Amino acid sequence: MTARARLGVPDLGVGVGLRVPHYGHVLREQPAVDFFEVISENFLVEGGKPRYHLARVLESYRVVPHGVSLGIAGPEPLDREYLKRLKRLLAEVKPPWLSDHFCWSGAGGAHVHDLLPIPYTKQAIERVVERAREVQDFLELRFALENTSSYLSYEASTFSEWAFISEIAERADIGLLLDVNNVYVSAYNHGFDPFEFIEQVPHERVVQIHLAGHTNLGAYIIDTHRGSVIDPVWDLYRRTIELTGSVSTLIEWDDEIPSFDVLMAETEKARAVRDRTLSGAPLEPVPRGVPTQTDASSEHEHGWRQGGPREIADGAAAK
Amino acid sequence: MTRLEDEDRANEPNELDRILLFFAEQLGKRRALPKDAALSERARGVVCASGRLSPVERLEIYREQFWLRHTASLVEDFPGLSGILGQGPWQTLIEGYLDAYPPRSFTLRDLGLDLPEYVAAQHWLPEHALCRDMARLELAYLEIFDAPDAVPLDAARLAEIPEEAWQNARIALHPALRLLAVDYPVATLRQQLLLAQTSGEEVPIPAPAPEYLLLYRHDLSMFHQQLSAGAHALLEALTRRVPLVAACEQAQAKIPGEATAIAENIGPWFQSWTARGFITGVEV
């Protein structure tokens, strides 16, 4: 896959979502991470720890901002002030692309800080295409949207999720951030074959891949970004790489965040899968079809927060 | 059809937005959605059932997350207030707050901006005056945490300012600095409550003890310092960009019992404030 086919976006290798508990380790130890992804909203502030840490990380690493608040499909127009602040951040970070989600995040002036699922309709396609173009033009940077995990689907939907996001990506000329774990979660929750999703999207538009753990509650899976990537998701990742070629891949971990070494082990696993797949070595056949309950737990307190822990005051420092 | 009817129709939400608005309407509800039979029926027309969950149960996942996410965020931002109140009253307070002030900002950082105002109006709260002070303190900490950075004034620059220029000098204070007058020793209490989160020790509710506080950020960490009433009044006037001499006069008029102390201490105060980076500029 050539750089041209990848929308001019480079393969940055295997990265990690940078989270507050790891700032100290990253700045001190300078681990061999290919790139970091940061939650854009955490850095749309004027000063203090967030900006300091971002500046230090930028001295040594490539950083890609990933937004959680655009709500591109919502009833209200795009938030101009948010986009202006984002553009100022981009001027500082100078990333090769930036991303947000196929979702909406509120209505009637409220912002619910969630990645709410979109009805897969023609009307929604028109809206997201227009706004995605607008965002990409305004920010003057390759823009990508990520497929989300969802827990409901709509009677009004007339497209599959993969057909919906593919049409938007093509018509708006944007990139796709393919979250392979989200594909698996939604496949479990809605009863489709995740391989069909992976195989049907326009592979030349995939500019980044996300991998993460999740929490299987039996009746549904919730995208907690907790725990290691499960084997069926690794299988999906392998198939994705087979179809896309080398694409920047990122490990996300937002709940019960472990030591950085554990994340590094996940990145090494991703790298091994990626390298082996790209080498053309024969791949073992994997079972296809609708995911079944493979890792159910009895957990129910799943207060996850999109975007992970926010950069807030450490009360112990307030003396 | 009249022109007004035409306009009404144009302003009506389209099919897509009708679905989104229906969804959004359910998220802030306090009661579990599956308990509402009429809603369960309505949800069937909008949301598909899965093999394991009914449409309304699928909507409920999002409603539950709305509350978990926002209450967790407020606990994180207001550990002192939630510590004073304990689980029951805190939950009631936050449910009422999110009803009265639904989140509107793109960032969770702004979620608690109106909480001090809301707390001030909640006279049913146990230890109401203490809660009010704690909410104000914790919002101030949130504000200084990511307030703009600024370069402190070089002490040598102060010495260069001619004597006569001080009359109308306006002092620029660091943006990550807040002044607070409270009736309870809330800064100390907050520290005790935070320590108690790990030690599990009971923290007694303190007696009223009025304090003047300066909250500031230094080397990325946040601190508080107790001030005299006079120093607080002077800094407060300076934050309003009142020229130095007039600020001193205002402080002396406001705290007449410390008029002499203000006059005597202004030099040492400025040296100390400059050394600690509170002053970022002097306009003469």
Same domain, B37 and B98: no
Which of B33, B53, B73 is the C-terminal boundary of a domain?
Answer: B73
Q: Quote the pLDDT of residue B164.
A: 87
| pLDDT average, residue stretch A274-287 | 91
Number of Cβ within 10 Å of residue A156's Cβ equals 18
Q: Quote the pLDDT of residue B161.
A: 85
Q: Is residue B59 part of a domain?
A: yes
Listing from the earlier edge strand, what are the strands of the sheet with B221-227? B177-182, B211-218, B221-227
Cβ distance of A156 and B46 shorter than 8 Å: yes
**A73: Cα separation from own chain's centroid:** 17
Same domain, B67 and B148: no
Provide the residue count of chain B.
284
Pick from B162, B265, B175: which is nearest to B215 by CA? Answer: B175
Q: What are the pLDDT digits (tens) for B79-125?
A: 999 999 999 999 999 999 999 999 999 999 999 999 999 999 999 99
Least confident of A88-97, A190-199, A286-295, B193-202: A286-295
Q: Quote the pLDDT of residue B5.
A: 59
Confidence of residue A294 (pLDDT cuts 50, 70, 90): low
Question: What is the spatial distance between Cα A243 and Cα A6, in angstroms, rounded to a whole number?
Answer: 12
- Residue B24 contacts residue A106 (beta carbons within 8 Å): yes
Task: For residue B283, give the 3-state DSSP assignment.
Answer: strand
Q: Is residue B97 part of a domain?
A: yes
Mean pLDDT of chain A: 91
Q: Quote the pLDDT of residue A287.
A: 87
Least confident of A26-30, A118-122, A130-134, A315-319: A315-319
**How far lies A172's CA from each of A145, B118, B216, in Å?**
11, 44, 47
Same domain, B24 and B162: no
For chain A, the domains span 14-309
Question: What is the spatial distance between Cα B37 and Cα B39, in angstroms, rounded to a whole number?
Answer: 5
Same domain, B51 and B164: no
Domain that holds residue B274: 78-283
Question: What is the spatial distance between Cα A294 and Cα B45, in angstroms, rounded to a whole number?
Answer: 31
Question: What is the spatial distance between Cα A77 and Cα A91, in angstroms, rounded to a whole number?
Answer: 24
Q: What are the pLDDT digits (tens) for A38-89?
A: 999 999 999 999 999 999 999 999 999 999 999 999 999 999 999 999 999 9
- The answer, for A200 touching chain B at a CB cutoff of 8 Å, is no
- When divided into structural domains, chain B yields a total of 2
Q: Is residue B116 part of a domain?
A: yes
Pick from B244, B248, B233: which is nearest to B180 by CA? Answer: B233
Q: Quote the pLDDT of residue B157.
A: 82
Pick from A161, A169, A113, A120: which is nearest to A144 by CA? Answer: A169
Question: What is the spatial distance between Cα B232 and Cα B251, in angstroms, rounded to a whole number?
Answer: 8
Interface test with B, best of A49, A104, A151, A214 (most B CBs within 10 A): A151
Residue A313 has pLDDT above 80, yes or no: no
Residue of A nearest to B191 (CA): A316
Share of chain B above pLDDT 70, in %: 96
A-contacting residues in B 99-118 (Cβ below 8 Å): 102-109
Q: Is residue B122 part of a domain?
A: yes
Confidence of residue B252 (pLDDT cuts 50, 70, 90): very high
β-partners of residue B223 are B216
Q: Is residue B114 part of a domain?
A: yes
Same domain, B47 and B133: no
- Residue A223 contacts residue A149 (beta carbons within 8 Å): yes
Mean pLDDT of chain B: 94
Confidence of residue B11 (pLDDT cuts 50, 70, 90): low
Q: Quote the pLDDT of residue A16.
A: 98
A12 class by beta-carbon count within 10 Å (0-12 exposed, 13-18 middle, 19+ buried): buried
Same domain, B57 and B193: no
**Owner of token pair 């979109």:** A118
Interface test with B, best of A86, A92, A152 (most B CBs within 10 A): A152
Query: Six-digit token pair at A249?
Result: 């891949």
More confident residue, A151 or A305: A151
Q: Is residue B5 part of a domain?
A: no
- The answer, for A153 touching chain B at a CB cutoff of 8 Å, is yes
Q: What are the pLDDT digits (tens) for B134-149?
A: 999 999 999 999 999 9
Same domain, B53 and B105: no
Q: What are the pLDDT digits (tens) for B159-207?
A: 888 888 888 899 999 999 999 999 999 999 999 999 999 998 999 999 9
Cβ distance of B145 and A313 shorter than 8 Å: yes
Q: Which residues contact A113 (CB under 8 A, 6 or more apart)?
A: A68, A69, A105, A305, A306, B69, B70, B103, B108
- Residue A168 contacts residue A129 (beta carbons within 8 Å): yes
Same domain, B145 and B64: no
**Owner of token pair 């554990």:** A262
Q: Quote the pLDDT of residue B159.
A: 80
Same domain, B248 and B155: yes
ipTM of the complex model: 0.91
Q: What is the pTM of this model?
A: 0.92
Same domain, B140 and B19: no
Q: Is residue B254 part of a domain?
A: yes
Question: What is the spatial distance between Cα B179 and Cα B213, in angstroms, rounded to a whole number?
Answer: 6
Q: Quote the pLDDT of residue B8.
A: 55
Contacts with B144 from chain A: Cβ below 8 Å = 48
Name the CA dihedral angle for B152, B156, B162, B168, rounded to a multiple of 10 degrees.
10
Q: What are the pLDDT digits (tens) for A100-128?
A: 999 999 999 999 999 999 999 999 999 99
Same domain, B37 and B96: no
Confidence of residue B156 (pLDDT cuts 50, 70, 90): confident
Q: Quote the pLDDT of residue A298.
A: 36
Q: Quote the pLDDT of residue B9.
A: 57
Question: What is the spatial distance between Cα A206 and Cα A35, in angstroms, rounded to a whole number?
Answer: 17
Q: Quote the pLDDT of residue B155.
A: 81
Residue A314 has pLDDT above 70, yes or no: no
Q: What angle do CA A2, A8, A11 make, to 5 degrees?
A: 65
CATH homologous superfamily of A14-309 equals Divalent-metal-dependent TIM barrel enzymes (3.20.20.150)
- The answer, for A189 touching chain B at a CB cutoff of 8 Å, is yes
* DSSP for residue A77: P
Angle between helices A80-93 and A122-139 (to 10 degrees): 50
**How far lies B204's CA from each of A111, A187, A263, in Å?**
38, 52, 42
Same domain, B116 and B56: no
